Amino acid sequence: KKNSPCIIFIDEIDAVGRQRGAGLGGGNDEREQTLNQLLVEMDGFDTNSTVIVIAATNRPDVLDPALQRPGRFDRQVVVPLPDIRGREQILNVHMRKVPIAADVNAEVIARGTPGFSGADLANLINEAALFAARRNKRLVDMEDLESAKDKIMMGAERRSMVMTEEEKRNTAYHESGHAVVAKLLPKSDPVHKVTIIPRGRALGVTMQLPEQDRFAYDRGYLMDRLAILFGGRIAEELFMNQMTTGASNDFERATQMARDMVTRYGMSDKLGPMVYGENEGEVFLGRSITTHKNLSEATLQQVDQEIRRIIDEQYALARRLLEENRDKVEAMTAALLELETIDADQINDIMEGKPPRPPKPGSSFAAKPDEKPAEPMAPVEATSDPAQEV
């Protein structure tokens, strides 16, 4: 007020602005005192005091209601993730800082990076520049950008990992199971790349990329995703006669997705358009410690049965598809064991019954003759959108 006119900007306001009187402890902790003082001061600004308060948060859902009433923060500006045009323009800004080769097309990169934020795209250009420097190039080309995109979306390669031949084969079958089911289902996202090189915490990855940005998911799409997630374990059973722990993350995500379809999205014919979730708020994020049970035991039992039915149906569908297309799984597995990574063109060749074309010359995943890279075991199929929680 002494220095007015002025603007006060508070970043991460949820650090002090969480709901009061919720969860554990009394109303006298330091954070609540800070919030109370902030509310009093903001209420005390006269219309002519010319002090403007701006705040930012990525958790608007846990803010105290008193902060959001008119007179304190009058309006909210939502800053969503950029769409394909926004990503292209952000890439053009960041590409000015590095020497770019003539073959680089920002539109192609933008189409292949759904769900990326501005910071992700800046990181993509930075990683690509590092790849180019390691390869002693003067310019950053599309190969470097593709390598950087793979690193961000699938994790860094761990070529030093030593795996047995059986584990390599098991991983190749697992990833082929994901990819073949994804290629055969009508509503699945296109398969972009399959690799059996360990990346991040996964021991192999099947990456799908949507053809355009998705803002909502229909029931058929989610059902197909369930079948794709089960493809890895079923391929292990059919071709290796064994089960491994590599499918644990697939099952975890499939179960959560099926539960959300029944309890949150109203996609069950039997239970209808109703929300069956309990309040699951986190106590320390300003949620109440008390929970209210609104569902009977009989209803919860029906919810469990419906989730089980959806999972069993999609598991059976994935199994039937793989049994009918054994030759394609075998061909893809052989290609993975030979090349370690196959792209969309090679996958399409295999699905059409042709031998897969050789890797593009100079591609980052073309096998080097003097290298014997280590490969993985069973994997996690990467989501099409890095930030996506279906």
Which residues are catalytic, by number?
175
CA atoms within 13 A on the CB side of 145: 26
The rounded distance, in Å, linking the Cα atoms of 378 and 24 is 42
- Helices and strands: H and E segment counts in the chain: 12, 5
Asked if residues 286 and 18 have their Cβ atoms less than 8 Å apart, the reply is: yes
Residue labelled with tokens 């593009």? 360
Determine contact, residues 224/188, Cβ cutoff 8 Å: yes
- Partnered with residue 193 across adjacent β-strands are 207, 343
365, 359 Cβ separation under 8 angstroms:
yes
Secondary structure letter of residue 49 according to DSSP: S
What is the C-alpha separation between 191 and 185, in angstroms, rounded? 11
Cα separation, 211 vs 187, in Å, equals: 11
Query: Per DSSP, what are the bridge partners of residue 63?
Result: 18
Question: Contact, 322 vs 234, CB < 8 A?
Answer: yes
Residue given tokens 């069973």 in the structure block: 378
Name the residue among 104, 97, 100 with its Cα closest to residue 123: 97
Closest CA to 378 of 222, 281, 247, 235: 247
Alpha helices in 101-164 (DSSP H): 106-111, 118-134, 142-154
Tell me phi and psi for residue 273, to 5 degrees: -80, 75
